[in-house]
Structure 1
């Protein structure tokens, strides 16, 4: 039943068309038709939410609300509530949702409710989750001044919005292209500068500095709100006149679901919000979004295989319109250089500071199973990327090794057309544990161009790749001194790597590990046990695959594991196995299928999980 629930959201024709156009192999839609526990948790922990809806002219708009974690939270099954300061005068989403009623009157939606989409986002930790659903009701009221001298007066055009949204779909997304921002609340003091589709100078300047946008798109009775990021200036201004500005930006390689572009394929309308996190200024845009592929994309934005050209039909540029401020942190290590229009010369102001190039050299390779290997790298300049912590990933660029340049079609390797050859791999070694400070290890499964290249490479050949930095926060929470609790971890196959990286720093006697692994991958289990001899007695192993046609090595591995002190089950992990009353929180690292099932089993419990859908 859990599999049916997890896979019950079909692709629509626009998404299927994009998959075919971009040569994406078929896979199930990972969206869940409800608010998953992980999505609910992230919504409550995120200080921002981007919201999209459609106005009475059928135009999509997007806004950005928030300030403090907790302003949005689950209030019932698959229902979230939002309460936050807003610009009640010029925010187009506020206008569409509340229809100008700002006296606290409750607005109730009839029938199924107004179509909406949301994106709770924690930019400081690069986490986000997509939500789609319906507005059930809400209210908008003015704010009373918090200045004692001004009591009795409302801050002009500032208000407090309360909103209840029924969630019909949710999906966790990858951290790619999110530049860190530390968010703090602020009272909006909106001042409308322009409502013309021809952008004023302030809006043009905002675009030239923007490293983040949020986009909403629609398809019949569905909607999508998502984030796009890049280096400052990644959105280019093609033209700007009385009939409306034209914008363009590249679509970088992502998770290849193409949910936003799938909507645009059938309904080429999009709503954008471009925030200036430092000043609180904001640009709202709605218009026609045309998808450019292959030569058409490269003709507008060289070195791009996929891009969007947006013709603005409506816009609002508002000073001090945001209910928060954001202090810039680290840029995304995924960000490429700005891609300029064919009609413009590179502008130094948009180039940003050059990224320090750091080389990671392959110095050791160990093949643990036919499809899993461990690779050790030595960093040429360890000070450049800084230090990494257990549970983080390394961002590596294989472009110099594998990128063969632009190709319109490549039937022998179609996935390479839209591949940036940038990958994140969980670091599976502990800092300086049997390694020097300039070394780290990754343990990966052979799957795709990059990992195949790694498996074929030799440490004697001098494989040098670019290390772009470290990221991720998948760490076990520290417990107060004297407090011991059970540490429960569920791993699916190679999903054991975040745990391996942290084992030297924890008390293994606290650990209760549930590990599902294919019989062909028992070499990984035995290697892990050799590194950590205390681990078998803390592990319950679920070995999948039949006993028929096992090789002698696989039979020997199975016998070794069975005699290690581990509880071994020759079956899949089941819900009954996770009856651990003393577990306060669960950690999960698995593929899409197992992750969805386990989250259903652990509904209502605190689950911290890592995703590999990017």
Structure 2
């Protein structure tokens, strides 16, 4: 055992995350060893590089990437030299922070990750030797390890690596001390948003009264997710937000930040070898503060980094992702959660706002419309979406570290978003399809088998807010708005809301709508369309091309049936100078966008509903 318990920052993060009552969490510090097993030296030698944390002269942590000479792993890279010491012989390059920060007896921390197998091991201690040679291009670092622990593998994205000895590192951008008002260059922001992995360096500076029991130390960790899981504020161009996903609940990295509000983020492009080193002021954000920053990440904490220094080096890493291979994403990684400032049209309701599930209209065994009543007035643009929390109905999910049979459940906060198919001042409707084995739709579709009027059940759901910019364009006086709507299956729902709005519109606007609907269930969706499209012809022209393998008498004027799928040839025959809206599944959207591209329509000209909130 290396630790004497949790230091003040770790205790505070456990308190804020409501872990203090869990005896398992309180004893986890005993899992940390004060000596590295010689067998783990062999593990580290097989890693393709070693991310480490060191401190600069002002106490700021920087992440460095120590890589083997020529990209060849093995004992010449990392080996055990006895006494819980590792010797790292690494190729380094201009711009590497450790050239500035390195010295004998410095604190250091690292994390060994073998990406092909998702194995990893954290180490921390101090340098017993530090030597630069060959023109500061070869580093020999002896490290006495006094803290080590195997670590959670579940957010590591699997990659295969091969040596890339012909690297030519070049510092492309650097500002080690950003002044007030300075921003990260746009290409570096784009670099961050394309990353699915970050190496997270932290520091704990012990208060004098705690120094003997909880001595100062550094930390190096890895966080992974889907590309873009770390967001960047465009408002100041230098604040990053990293969501915390459900893990092993050690919380050592966030505990360090809680006690000493400094951190480093290091990003690597594994295909080009470019490395971005960031350092700055870090803060953990919780509750309503976190919700205001990243509304859909409501279950755990956020960590922000206000960047105070950076270095960007091109063509640096002497190992690269094997050509022709792709990263295998972790199944545990939840969807990307955007900053509030990124999601156009996002309106948050008051904390603890609730809506009543008032009735259910069952259209088929798998499609239904659910109606909700709000005690406060609603402001909803036709085509927008409602964000609901189902914890009141299903209860708070229990903690689980791993769930091999259902990885997505580990980070499931029971928050879901659906486009609104109808709305009024105090009511809105969601028309949805039951998802096979879906946690949420399975539960509420079970209610539809019981009764239509559900108000007697007094089921209230959390109403987080309204989101989306998928809405009607503003009316233009004296001219006709020409629209092309393309819907795949249940993607028809936002168009139902738009048609209902046009029916009630008294602005004098005139609209010409050409709709393309592809569905296997015309007997269900066409009647919904007919109800919504019951509009006077002097306000709206409406024509429909229905693509379905089932014959369906639509009952709509200017409706044509096509017993096939929407294809490029048909799109060629369509007037594409209209404002185009597209909503459907991802494969349907991809097919339509490819067809439109062949017709000369760029995807930027198409308004789409992403369904990713």
TM-score (norm 1): 0.51
CA deviation string 1:497-551 (max 9, x = no partner):
xxxxxxxxxxxxxxxxxxxxxxxxxxxxxxxxxxxxxxxxxxxxxxxxxxxxxxx
For the Cα contact (< 8 Å) 1:9–1:32, is it kept in 2? no
Gaps of 5+ in 2: 206-215, 345-387, 413-434, 440-613
Tell me the distance in 2 between the aligned counterparts of 1:422 and 1:32. 21
Structure 2 residue matching 1:271: 3-state secondary structure: strand
Change beyond 3 A, Cα 1:405–1:17: farther
Q: Displacement of 1:114 after TM fit? A: 0.5
**Structure 1 pair 201–17 and aligned structure 2 pair: CA distance change class (3 A):** same
Q: Retained in 2: the 8 A contact 1:210–1:232?
A: yes
Q: 1:273 is paired with a residue of what secondary structure?
A: strand
Change (3 A) 1:311 1:7: closer
1:139 aligns with 2:145: no
Matching residue of 2:271: 278
Partner residue, 2:164: 186
Choose the corresponding residue for 1:174, options 152, 170, 176. Answer: 152
| Distance verdict in 2 for CA 1:193–1:39, change over 3 Å | same
Secondary structure at the counterpart of residue 128 of structure 1 = strand
Residues 199 and 223 in structure 2, CA contact (< 8 A), matched pair in contact too: yes
Partner of 1:19: 14
Tell me what 2:340 maps to: 342
Q: For the residues of structure 1 that align with 2:153 and 2:343, how far apart are their CA atoms?
A: 31
Query: Paired residue for 1:127, among 116, 119, 126?
Result: 119
Once the two structures are TM-superposed, the CA of residue 326 in structure 1 deviates from its matched residue by 2.1
State the Cα deviation string for residues 529-583 of structure 1 (Å, max 9, x = none): xxxxxxxxxxxxxxxxxxxxxxxxxxxxxxxxxxxxxxxxxxxxxxxxxxxxxxx
User: What's the offset of the Cα at 1:62?
Assistant: 0.3
Equivalent position to 2:255, from 258, 262, 271: 262
- In the TM superposition, residue 405 of structure 1 has moved relative to its aligned partner by 4.6
Corresponding residue number in structure 2 for 1:593:
none
Matched, 1:322 2:317: yes
Please show how residues 457-468 of structure 1 align to structure 2 within 5 Å.
464=437
Residue 80 of structure 2: which of 74, 78, 97 is its match? 74
* Cross-structure match for 2:233: 238
- 1:59 maps to what in 2? 60
Question: CA separation in 2, counterparts of 1:405 and 1:276?
Answer: 38
Structure 2 residue 336 is the aligned partner of structure 1 residue 332: no
Report the alpha carbon displacement of residue 173 of structure 1 after superposing the two structures with TM: 0.3
Larger Cα Rg: Structure 1 or Structure 2?
A: 2
CA deviation after TM superposition for structure 1 residue 175, in Å:
0.8
- 1:336: Cα distance to partner? 1.2
Name the SS of the counterpart of 1:239 in structure 2.
coil
Runs of 4+ in 1 over 4 A off after TM superposition: 403-407, 412-416
Question: Could you report, residue by residue, the CA deviation over 1:581-606 in whole angstroms, capped at 9, with x for unpaired residues?
Answer: xxxxxxxxxxxxxxxxxxxxxxxxxx
Instruction: Report the Cα distance in structure 1 between the residues aligned to 2:7 and 2:309, rounded to whole angstroms.
Output: 28
The answer to whether the 8 Å contact 1:59/1:269 transfers is yes
TM-aligned CA deviation for residue 406 of structure 1? 6.7
Q: Does 1:212 align with 2:185?
A: no
Per-residue displacement from partner, 1:13-49 (whole Å, max 9, x unpaired)? 1111111211221223111111134533421222221
Q: Which residue of 1 aligns with 2:137?
A: 159
In structure 2, the residue matched to 1:313 is 308
Secondary structure (helix, strand or coil) at the match of 1:234 reads coil
Q: Tell me the residue number matched to 2:95.
A: 90
Write the deviation string for residues 212-265 of structure 1: whole angstroms up to 9, x where unpaired.
000111112111100000100111111365xx6111121111110000000000
- CA deviation map 1:110-166 (0-9, x unaligned): xxx1000010111111011100010111222237xxxxxxxxxxxxxx812111111
Contact 1:65 1:323 in 2 (8 A): no
Contact 1:86 1:323 in 2 (8 A): no
- 1:178–1:28 Cα change, 3 Å: closer
* TM-score, reference length from structure 2: 0.51
Aligned to 2:360: none
Q: Residues 413 and 135 of structure 1: is their aligned pair in 2 closer, same or farther, counting only changes over 3 Å? A: farther
Contact 2:332 2:411 (C-alpha < 8 Å) held by counterparts:
no
- Count how many residue pairs are aligned between Structure 1 and Structure 2: 339
Q: Which runs of 5+ in 1 are unaligned?
A: 1-5, 99-108, 144-157, 347-402, 428-441, 443-447, 451-461, 467-614
Q: What SS does structure 1 have at the residue aligned with 2:160? A: strand
Match of 2:285 among 284, 289, 292: 292
In 1, Cα distance between the equivalents of 2:273 and 2:283?
29
Shift of 1:76: 1.2
Aligned residue number for residue 34 of structure 1? 35
Given that 2:193 and 2:231 are in contact with CA atoms closer than 8 Å, whether structure 1 keeps it comes out as yes
- Does the residue aligned with 1:202 lie in a helix, a strand or coil? helix
1:44 equivalent in alignment to 2:45: yes
The equivalent residue for 1:431 is none
Q: Secondary structure at the match of 1:129?
A: strand
Residue 325 of structure 1: CA displacement?
A: 1.4
Look up the match of 1:484.
none
**Structure of greater relative contact order (alpha carbons < 8 Å, 6+ residues apart):** 1
Aligned partners of 2:320, 2:139: CA distance in 1, in Å? 18
What is the Cα-based RMSD across aligned positions, in Å?
3.1
- Please give the alpha-carbon distance, in whole angstroms, between the structure 1 residues aligned to 2:239 and 2:157: 25
The question of whether the paired residues in 2 share the 8 Å contact of 1:48 and 1:68 is answered with: no
